[in-house]
Structure 1
């Protein structure tokens, strides 16, 4: 009988892909199969996030819960970004944990499982050319890492301290992974990196030089691949070549994630983002000029240390002018190992909450206006999930979620849908 693996994944798409790598390695090399019943699991893993404070606190409460329900002899492992920065402290705070495996050391999972109190948190460890076994949660879409680590020094961000320096994965490995996925029925690939459009700046070994724009073009030549998505590009590296390739290549989905963080030049400088409000707006407007149908999403942090009301209004000004289709917005969260955590003039919770609420309320109004224009529009949807009430759902080229009546025969298919009832979170429609 195969052993049972229960895995809980917190955080970003890169963590999701790391979990898929873990599942694949343990399945092929240790005969584990997935279970959703934690009580029957022989191995319980939590793949952690440390970008904000809340998931870190959640780690230890979750481990405590695991210990109470796990069967005798079951192991508990902590993986991911929090494992990277807390390391052996996790053993002290949670003695029931059997091993700790950082985000830069996922390829060591088999060794970790078989070594008592294994600690693998080396930020200089290089697995950019490791040949992981194959597994994906979604049979129609696949996540593909194109780089690991981050070379930026944003003053609020802990990622460089949990994922190490940036290294690009060689193109031939990315291409091989994409082709293998398409051969198995995948229609869409989703490229991942902390700063994807910085791809090609550094490899571990000698490889042909290739930038992100060229990588997109070459991947688009894969036969039977329908769609390409990626996240997250850095506004600083959005040169004209990149915007032209994005706009002109039909296989590249027309949704762009452009992390803003703040609209204030003073705050952007304090964050060490490397660009100004003017540069950001220039790139956003250039993108809309080249690709009128594009949808733009962003990340925004409110109440960064020393953010004044005027700074916050500069952020709101960008929101009004760009009119983002989606905003991931958060109150500033003080993180260990970051320069911002030591900055004076930390903003009080009441002010931070007020600003976040104001931003989110205004964006909801903008989104309602955008969504209203989708009434009677016809869009192409890649269906990927069944929903209650004989319904199926999927994403448009511009990343809107669409739901329609249908059954599993539509899964994995790209169909044209007429939108009949556009709502803020879901566009409801009928297959044409």
Structure 2
């Protein structure tokens, strides 16, 4: 019996690509094992490099894999190996090094390594790289929601971010190919698709006239796909035309993860974010015209170089003005190779902790208010799993909902009402016809 295990760090794109590599191994006779309880013949470490801490975690995962089975084949793929291939090569026990391309060759490279046991490295330069490489998921699954990668790369070059160097320039998957995968996923039983990419707002700019909204409209026509959710997007993607068209599909979830990073115009400019706090607020107001009960989530970096108390208060003011449903807070950490790492006026670590804690407290209160606002309204919930005695799932606006019931609800979309709040979850009752 040939076994494998995939250890994944980082974003939803990495999760999608890990799932696709898992299918490649399984189609070639391998069986997946849990690295926490079993040793594997092949370990794939899908790395992240968004911060220096991510690099360190990637190295820890690599060393752990070899420690668990010294005779195993260790494959290192992803953003860390793309940006720092020589560092990865130097780690004892690494057998195969790949970057962020050629994932579909993973099984082929494992078989090649078995022949002569010589280290293999196929990290390509991404300068001028224009090919969107297909790596797909089409297997039947007990899961109810699937990620679908439709875009790769980023041309934005925010000053704190290494990802444009790790993922290369923007490349988009064609609408035709995306629709074909959506059909396969529907046939495999998935009800919800989460469209993912490194910067999905730039979708289509390399294809000609096609844009993200055109892709959404075509995927929405696929029978069996009842919900479409967007991964992180930026305010510049959202226009009145965009909202009118996605609303008309009747399938796009009223949940937008709208990256903010800072509520200070001075900090946004230093980050090279290309929008102002005023434009961000206007975008949120526009979204609420079309989706009154929308779940707005965001990312915020605290302690960016030069962030003053006044800058941070601008962020707090914006957070209160917009009233997010949840905030993901990150304390700024230097990333070697980015302009921000060389900036003066680095912020003291204790100040970062204080600012982070303040935003997290605000986030908890806003989540409570958001669920309370939705109480006694009808929510559409996709039930996904039984856990802790409850059947659980997410509403379109991304409230974690649960119910005690004898009904068979897994992978069903049902209307329900919130009757009580339990921390960051909502207890619901099914509306019976």
Match of 1:44 in 2: 43
**Is 1:121 equivalent to 2:123 in the alignment?**
yes
**Is 1:90 equivalent to 2:88 in the alignment?**
yes
**Cα-to-partner distance string for 1:181-238 (whole Å, 9 max, x where unaligned):** 11121111111122212211004xxxx6311111111211112220001112221232
**Is 1:309 equivalent to 2:313 in the alignment?**
no
Which stretch of structure 1 is more off in the superposition, 122-131 or 139-148? 122-131
Counterparts of 1:86 and 1:407, CA distance in 2: 52
Residue 106 of structure 1 is aligned with which of 103, 107, 126? 103
**Is 1:147 equivalent to 2:151 in the alignment?**
yes
* Contact residue 326 and residue 366 of structure 2 kept, 8 A: no
Match of 2:229 in 1: 229
Question: Aligned to 1:77, what secondary structure does the other structure show?
Answer: strand
Which stretch of structure 1 is more off in the superposition, 361-370 or 170-179? 361-370
Match of 2:33 in 1: 35
* Contact residue 88 and residue 119 of structure 1 kept, 8 A: no
Shift of residue 51, structure 1, vs aligned partner = 1.4
Counterparts of 1:329 and 1:22, CA distance in 2: 31
Shift of residue 135, structure 1, vs aligned partner = 4.0
* Contact residue 299 and residue 327 of structure 1 kept, 8 A: yes
Shift of residue 383, structure 1, vs aligned partner = 0.8
Question: Aligned to 1:320, what secondary structure does the other structure show?
Answer: helix
Question: Aligned to 1:40, what secondary structure does the other structure show?
Answer: coil
Q: Quickly say closer, same or farther: Cα 1:136–1:352, change in 2 above 3 A.
A: farther
1:176-325 → structure 2 map (5 Å cutoff): 176-203=180-207, 209-325=209-325
Which stretch of structure 1 is more off in the superposition, 237-246 or 130-139? 130-139
Counterparts of 2:108 and 2:270, CA distance in 1: 42
Question: Aligned to 1:373, what secondary structure does the other structure show?
Answer: helix
**Cα-to-partner distance string for 1:285-342 (whole Å, 9 max, x where unaligned):** 1111222121111110011000011111111111011000011111111112211011
**Cα-to-partner distance string for 1:107-141 (whole Å, 9 max, x where unaligned):** 23123323332223224255515354634765322
Question: Aligned to 2:385, what secondary structure does the other structure show?
Answer: strand
Match of 1:25 in 2: 24
Match of 1:161 in 2: 165
**Is 1:374 equivalent to 2:378 in the alignment?**
no
Q: Quickly say closer, same or farther: Cα 1:127–1:34, change in 2 above 3 A.
A: farther
Match of 1:345 in 2: 345
* Contact residue 421 and residue 427 of structure 1 kept, 8 A: yes
Match of 2:394 in 1: 395
* Contact residue 50 and residue 163 of structure 2 kept, 8 A: yes
Counterparts of 1:133 and 1:275, CA distance in 2: 35
Q: Quickly say closer, same or farther: Cα 1:163–1:407, change in 2 above 3 A.
A: farther
Counterparts of 1:27 and 1:280, CA distance in 2: 45
Shift of residue 163, structure 1, vs aligned partner = 0.7
Q: Quickly say closer, same or farther: Cα 1:309–1:137, change in 2 above 3 A.
A: farther
Shift of residue 245, structure 1, vs aligned partner = 2.2
Which stretch of structure 1 is more off in the superposition, 306-315 or 408-417? 408-417
**Cα-to-partner distance string for 1:146-172 (whole Å, 9 max, x where unaligned):** 111111110011111111111111111
Shift of residue 270, structure 1, vs aligned partner = 0.6
1:327-338 → structure 2 map (5 Å cutoff): 327-338=327-338
Q: Quickly say closer, same or farther: Cα 1:137–1:340, change in 2 above 3 A.
A: farther
**Cα-to-partner distance string for 1:335-380 (whole Å, 9 max, x where unaligned):** 1221101111111101111111111112222222222233333322
Instruction: Show structure 1 runs of 5+ residues with no match.
Output: none
Question: Aligned to 1:409, what secondary structure does the other structure show?
Answer: coil
Instruction: Show structure 2 runs of 5+ residues with no match.
Output: none
Question: Aligned to 2:143, what secondary structure does the other structure show?
Answer: coil
* Contact residue 263 and residue 312 of structure 1 kept, 8 A: yes
